């Protein structure tokens, strides 16, 4: 079932993962003093329509609960997230972005988009549109096949 196209996608995904290392991300991140590893946590909280818990962060990042808890604690300590008690379950803590967290994410989105814009600068509008459509479709399919793959 494996063909050259699937092999090319696999190689490309490995290259993308390597290019998204902590060192590379810190070079891409705005110089606001925020550890780039926290942006993954902030991205997860931002993506949720409602406040979420550490368990959802752990699942989305593909890390264990203790690692997610440490990352969340750092984001709270830096004033990027707040914790509140869930109204329906006092044992559950919900996470929401603070104004500083939203601002940091806006700057991170801007920096990442600037890099992607530069990468695709010589692409036609059609190629950009097709790539956006296909990679979005790929990520959605990945999320259905591999838990936490979205």
Mean pLDDT by 10 residues, the chain (150 residues): 84 83 59 76 90 91 92 95 89 93 90 89 97 93 76
Nearest to 146 by CA among 59, 69, 50: 59
pLDDT of residue 148: 59
pLDDT of residue 129: 97
How many C-beta atoms lie closer than 10 Å to residue 80's C-beta? 25
Q: Which residue has the tokens 């939203």?
A: 102
pLDDT of residue 68: 95
pLDDT of residue 143: 83
Q: Mapping DSSP to helix (H, G, I), strand (E, B) and coil, where does residue 53 land?
A: coil
Q: How far is CA 60 from CA 99, 107, 148, in A?
A: 22, 22, 5
pLDDT of residue 41: 93
pTM beyond 0.85: the answer is no
pLDDT of residue 74: 95
Residue 84: enclosing H or E segment and its boundaries?
A: strand 81-86
Could you tell me if 71 and 41 are in contact, meaning their C-beta atoms sit under 8 angstroms apart?
yes
């Amino acid at each position: 079932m494996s063909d050259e196209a699937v092999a090319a996608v696999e190689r490309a995904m490995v290259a993308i993962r390597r290019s998204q290392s902590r060192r590379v991300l810190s070079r891409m991140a705005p110089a606001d003093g925020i550890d780039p590893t926290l942006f993954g946590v902030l991205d997860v909280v931002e993506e949720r329509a409602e406040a979420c818990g550490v368990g959802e962060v752990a699942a989305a990042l593909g890390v264990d609960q203790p690692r997610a808890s440490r990352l969340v604690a750092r984001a709270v300590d830096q004033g990027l997230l707040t914790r509140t008690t869930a109204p329906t379950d006092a044992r559950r803590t919900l996470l929401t972005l603070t104004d500083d967290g939203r601002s940091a994410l806006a700057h991170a989105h801007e920096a990442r988009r600037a890099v992607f814009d530069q990468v695709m600068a010589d692409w036609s509008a059609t190629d950009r549109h097709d790539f956006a459509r296909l990679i979005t479709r790929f990520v959605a399919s990945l999320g259905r096949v591999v838990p936490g793959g979205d």
